[in-house]
Amino acid sequence: MRDGKKKSLLFIDAVAEGTARLLPEDESAPVLVVGLGNRFITPDSLGALTVDRTLVTRHMTGSDFFRSDLRSVCAVAPGVLGVTGVETLEMVRSLTESVRPGAVICIDSLSARSSARIGSTLQLTDTGIQPGAGVGNLRQALSAETLGVPVVAVGMPTVI
């Protein structure tokens, strides 16, 4: 295996392990993955592109096809207010009330102060996220306080 691929796999394993540590231990409720950002603007598309590649399993829970080593997962990329006319928090709160996940994982593109951080830094937090904050477009926060469930935020700088 080439060094670059080996490093990528180590990075992916580290992110997966870090995220798992921030999730509640009770795996009976699904996890809702939310891909934030505008899929039509490359530096803001990380969340939506991640949702496109997320293995959703909630619809298989209880079936013969559901593997016992998988967690129940559902995912959505709600878009941005300027495209949908709906605040992200409004949409995610509605889904949270309906799906009743054990946790929400939000993935978003972040803004950095230095070009050296673009694509080379990952932020992982259990305090939620405020979409648009990095570029001065403050939207309502997605957090345990606003959604009523733990919120894990994963972000990577993609723009200065």
- Please state the rounded mean pLDDT for residues 14-29: 87
Query: What is the predicted pLDDT for the residue at 125?
Result: 92
Whole-model pTM: value is 0.87
Residues 6+ apart with CB under 8 A from 23: 31, 102, 103, 105, 150, 152
Residue-wise pLDDT tens digits, 49-106: 999 999 999 888 777 777 777 889 999 999 987 888 889 999 999 999 999 999 999 9
Residues 6+ apart with CB under 8 A from 141: 89, 128, 129, 130
130 pLDDT band (50/70/90 cuts)? confident
**151 has which bridge partners?**
104
Query: What is the predicted pLDDT for the residue at 102?
Result: 96
Is it the case that residue 147 has pLDDT exceeding 80? yes
